[in-house]
Structure 1
Amino acid sequence: MDWTLEVIVVPVGDVDRARDFYRDKLGFAVDVDTRVTEQTRIVQLTPPGSGCSIVIGENIPTPDGRTSEPGSYMGLQLVVADIKAAHAELVERGVDVSAPIEVAPGDGGTFLHFKDPDGNGWAVQEYRVRATTPLYEAIRPSD
């Protein structure tokens, strides 16, 4: 049985501001933008080429019935095949992003970082093998 991670809820304070950031600054596609109840709105966005989306919204409860604090998530991570191109694209789109930093030699050891308008922390990792081998092929166990 496959278990796929497909949605991560990211806590934000202003849904429209966050939607605009993820759509306009990061290039995520808006898959859903709907009010499911009078008190609850969800917006689902997907990064280009990703099988996993994020959901932002108003009054989205955690499994224990609470809501997460906006800006409380750190360590969300995107993966790209070319970190220099990703850095240039983010700078061009107006994202306040760090310079790429090599933390370990070899493929997969270079990162850059940014925060969304609420302070949720993101990393972008360069993994050059993604240019020729998509994740689902790279991790598929052999039969």
Structure 2
Amino acid sequence: MEFRLELVFVPVSDVDRAKTFYADQVGFHVDHDQTVSDDLRFVQLTAPGSACSIAIGTGLIDTVPGSLKGLQVVVDDADAAREFLIERGVEASPVQDLAWGRFTGFKDPDGNEWTIQQLPAWRGSAG
């Protein structure tokens, strides 16, 4: 039995502002943007190379905007990811070197927190 996580709902207060942030600044691809009614809009975005997307919109969830913490993506180079974000106007934290990887991160306009991890070289090796 396979259970694939393919969609995470991110609570935002302004859908257009969040869509612009994730697409234009962070570089996510806009997969869908469908307004069903005044009370229901669904926007799906996917980070390049990811099998999991995020959804923002109206009428989707009742979670407080900015309350999502601990979203994590993996990159090949944490320094390059940080520079990519900074060049696009995203405040990214300094890269930290830890035993389990190199980390940076950012917050969206509502305060939802993302962590970016560069996996350590030993991942997947025996020993």
Do both proteins adopt the same fold according to a TM-score greater than 0.5, normalized to the shorter chain?
yes
Other-structure match for 2:88:
93
Tell me the number of residue pairs that the alignment of Structure 1 and Structure 2 aligns.
Answer: 123
What is the distance in 2 between the residues matched to 1:2 and 1:36? 31
Instruction: Tell whether the 8 Å contact from 1:113 to 1:122 is kept in structure 2 after alignment.
Output: yes
Instruction: Tell whether the 8 Å contact from 1:82 to 1:128 is kept in structure 2 after alignment.
Output: no
RMSD between superposed Cα atoms in Å: 1.6
Confirm whether residue 49 of structure 1 aligns to residue 44 of structure 2: no
What is the distance in 1 between the residues matched to 2:12 and 2:20? 12
Q: Give the residue type in structure 1 aligned to 2:112.
A: N
Other-structure match for 1:16:
16
Instruction: Tell whether the 8 Å contact from 1:81 to 1:128 is kept in structure 2 after alignment.
Output: no
- Secondary structure of 1:13's counterpart equals coil
Q: 2:67 aligns with which of 69, 72, 78?
A: 72
What is the distance in 1 between the residues matched to 2:77 and 2:30? 24
Q: Deviations over 1:14-63 (max 9, x none)?
A: 000000000001100000000123311010000000000000001213xx
**Post-superposition shift, 1:84?**
1.0
Q: Give the gaps of 5 or more residues in structure 2.
A: none
Instruction: Tell whether the 8 Å contact from 1:10 to 1:56 is kept in structure 2 after alignment.
Output: yes
Q: Give the gaps of 5 or more residues in structure 1.
A: 62-66, 130-137, 139-143
Other-structure match for 2:102:
110
**Counterparts of residues 115-130 of structure 1 (less than 5 Å):** 115-127=107-119
Q: TM-score, normalised by structure 1?
A: 0.81
Tell me the percent identity: 50
What is the distance in 1 between the residues matched to 2:27 and 2:6? 18
Confirm whether residue 40 of structure 1 aligns to residue 32 of structure 2: no
**Post-superposition shift, 1:128?**
5.9
Question: 4+ residue stretches of structure 1 with deviation over 2 A?
Answer: none
- Secondary structure of 2:37's counterpart equals coil
**Post-superposition shift, 1:109?**
1.7
- Secondary structure of 1:43's counterpart equals strand
Instruction: Tell whether the 8 Å contact from 1:74 to 1:122 is kept in structure 2 after alignment.
Output: yes
- The structure whose residues are more often strand, as a share, is 2
